[in-house]
């Protein structure tokens, strides 16, 4: 079968790499892909943007694509699955209505409240009804969120009421464009975050391996928020009893709530959770797709065919499926361009990729491009070096051996990815 992966980041390289290893897959196309997918055996890039749904549909038709897997949220929220299904093509991901769980944070909060799924208390405002007095009456810190898609930049944690009011006004007055026309003002939750990702088909669910990522740019989880500077799987924080609690208190009520609301959800469903000191899981947000960089370590550990799991979900056979996992831990370190997440340079030649390819582990590409046979940087997050090991500590060692082999001008990366898990192991 021929598979199409939509997107061009590290997540999509990992999905394409995984699908390409499967005996039932003859060829994998990635639109638009990156230098990593261009160089991967059995994988080919297609020069179509992830948001160009009509062109993707035309390509899938002409090429006889049996299964399309959508990486990023943009095309899902824009309705790529509805469009492919209407044309009789199989496309893995939630439809437009289901993707609103990610597309609108206000919608997601109302959904959580309606179905009594644990989440921070909140209120939503527009310019028309913004009430600074409500904010002044709340405990600090306060979390202000733009409702719509903001590429991971639309959340501000405020330490004072004045700051919270200013952040709210900024959003409502257009700092995040249309994404900030509605805002969510949320109670701050203390605890440790985990990424809990499942494959869902209506009421059927297959939980994937647990993971944790590091959102902040600097060591010690300090500095500005980013798309993610590293991730590992499994997350030792999610013990068997916490896992059972997440399934019973979050995932199952979410799927039954969707069904009760008349929404048929098929696809990856990612719950960003804050785990309290007593193990209570609270939902911070939903994503309607796989995480990046969580995908990279999780795909390193997945033994089952990903395409088989996606097809089982599309066919409503997910309840008869199990996923097999490598018992080892996987840990990915993101190598980013200097200056990221603010402004950074593109076009820097990357050295050491051949040497890294001879080492154990795997380097997934994100913001890279092939120019005249050379791999150069083309984005903020450039590579994700993933190691495997008997525990998170040894997976970390393998990942940093890969990192040490690679260089470019002004490369930056964290040196402590996995520190919480390693502290737990010690
Ligand atoms: N209620 C909250 N309490 C504490 N931290 C929060 C809260 N909501 C969000 N955060 C922090 O902000 C980050 C981004 O928020 P999230 O809702 O995941 O939005 P997005 O991923 O779209 O930026 C989270 O990963 C978490 O670190
Ligand atoms: Mg998030």
Give the DSSP letter string of 109-143.
HHHHHHTT--B--EEEEETTT--HHHHHTSPSSEE
| Distance between CA atoms of residues 24 and 46, nearest Å | 21
Q: How far is the CA of 286 from the centre of ligand 2 (A)?
A: 8
Q: In this structure, is the dihedral angle defined by the CA atoms of residues 178, 180, 184 and 188, taken in order, positive or negative?
A: positive
Task: Please give the average per-residue pLDDT across 292-314, as a whole number.
Answer: 98
Question: What pLDDT is stored for residue 150 in this prediction?
Answer: 87
Please determine, for residue 143, whether its predicted confidence score (pLDDT) is greater than 80: yes
Summarize the confidence of residues 191-199 as an average pLDDT: 96
Chain centre to alpha carbon of residue 295: 7
Our mutation pick for probing the ligand 1 site, out of 143, 167, 275, counting the most ligand atoms within 8 A of Cβ, is 143
* Residue 120 CB–ligand 1 contact under 6 Å: yes
Angle separating helix axes 306-314 and 10-20, nearest 10 degrees: 100
Atom of ligand 1 nearest to the CA of 272: 18
Atom of ligand 1 nearest to the CA of 188: 3
User: What was the pLDDT predicted at 151?
Assistant: 83
Burial of 103 (0-12, 13-18, 19+ CB in 10 A): buried
Ligand 1 in reach of 272 Cβ (< 6 A): yes
Q: What average pLDDT does the chain have?
A: 97
Q: How far apart are CA 211 and CA 228, in angstroms?
A: 13
Residue whose CB lies within 8 A of the most ligand 1 atoms, among 123, 180, 285, 292, for a mutation test: 285
213 ligand 1 Cβ < 6 A: no
Cα(272) to centroid(ligand 2), Å: 6
Residue 88: predicted pLDDT:
97
Q: Is 155 in the pocket of ligand 1 (CB under 6 A)?
A: yes
Strands 374-377 and 368-371 turn out to be antiparallel
Residue 156 CB less than 6 A away from ligand 1: no
If you measure from the C-alpha of residue 155 to the centroid of ligand 1, how many angstroms do you get, rounded to a whole number? 6
Give the distance (Å) from ligand 1 centre to CA of residue 302: 27
pLDDT at 152 over 80: no
Q: Determine what percent of the chain is predicted with pLDDT higher than 90.
A: 97
Give 184 Cα–ligand 2 centroid separation in angstroms.
14
**Distance from Cα 194 to the centre of ligand 1, integer Å:** 11
- Please give the pLDDT value at position 349: 98
Q: 80-127: per-residue pLDDT in tens?
A: 999 999 999 999 999 999 999 999 999 999 999 999 999 999 999 999
Tokens of 313: 């979900």
């Amino acid at each position: 079968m021929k598979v199409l992966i939509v997107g061009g980041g590290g997540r999509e390289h990992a999905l394409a790499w995984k699908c390409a290893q499967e005996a039932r897959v003859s060829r994998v196309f990635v639109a638009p892909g990156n230098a990593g997918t261009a160089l991967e055996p059995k994988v080919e890039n297609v020069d179509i943007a992830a948001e160009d749904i009509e062109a993707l549909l035309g390509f899938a038709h002409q090429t006889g694509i049996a299964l399309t897997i959508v990486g990023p949220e943009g095309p899902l929220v824009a309705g790529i699955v509805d469009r492919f299904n209407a044309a009789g093509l199989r496309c893995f991901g939630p439809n437009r209505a289901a993707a609103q769980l990610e597309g609108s944070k206000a919608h997601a909060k109302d959904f959580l409240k309606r179905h009594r799924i644990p989440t921070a208390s909140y209120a939503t405002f527009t310019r028309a009804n913004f009430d600074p007095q409500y904010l002044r009456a709340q405990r600090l810190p306060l979390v202000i969120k733009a409702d719509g898609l903001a590429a991971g930049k639309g959340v501000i944690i405020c330490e004072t009421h004045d700051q919270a009011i200013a952040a709210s006004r900024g959003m409502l007055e257009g700092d995040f464009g249309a994404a900030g026309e509605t805002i969510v003002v949320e109670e701050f939750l203390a605890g440790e975050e985990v990424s809990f990702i499942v494959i869902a088909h209506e009421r059927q669910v297959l939980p994937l391996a647990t993971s944790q990522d590091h959102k902040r740019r600097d060591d010690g989880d300090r500095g500005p928020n980013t798309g993610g500077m590293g991730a590992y799987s499994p997350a030792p924080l999610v013990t068997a009893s916490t896992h059972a609690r997440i399934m019973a208190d979050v995932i199952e009520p979410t799927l039954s709530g969707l069904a009760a609301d008349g929404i048929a959800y098929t696809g990856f469903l990612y719950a960003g959770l804050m785990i309290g000191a007593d193990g209570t899981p609270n939902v911070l947000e939903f994503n309607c797709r796989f995480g990046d960089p969580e995908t990279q370590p999780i795909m390193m550990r997945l033994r089952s065919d990903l395409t088989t799991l996606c097809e089982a979900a599309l066919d409503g056979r997910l309840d008869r499926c199990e996923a097999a996992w490598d018992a080892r831990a996987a840990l990915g370190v993101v190598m980013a361009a200097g200056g990221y997440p603010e402004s950074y340079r593109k076009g820097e030649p990357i050295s050491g990729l051949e040497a890294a390819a001879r080492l154990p582990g795997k380097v997934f590409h994100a913001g890279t491009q092939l120019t005249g046979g050379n791999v150069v940087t083309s984005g903020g997050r450039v590579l994700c070096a993933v190691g495997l090991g008997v525990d998170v500590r040894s997976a970390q060692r393998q990942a940093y051996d890969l990192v040490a082999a690679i260089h470019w001008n002004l490369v930056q990366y964290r040196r402590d990815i996995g520190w919480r898990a390693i502290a737990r192991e010690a």
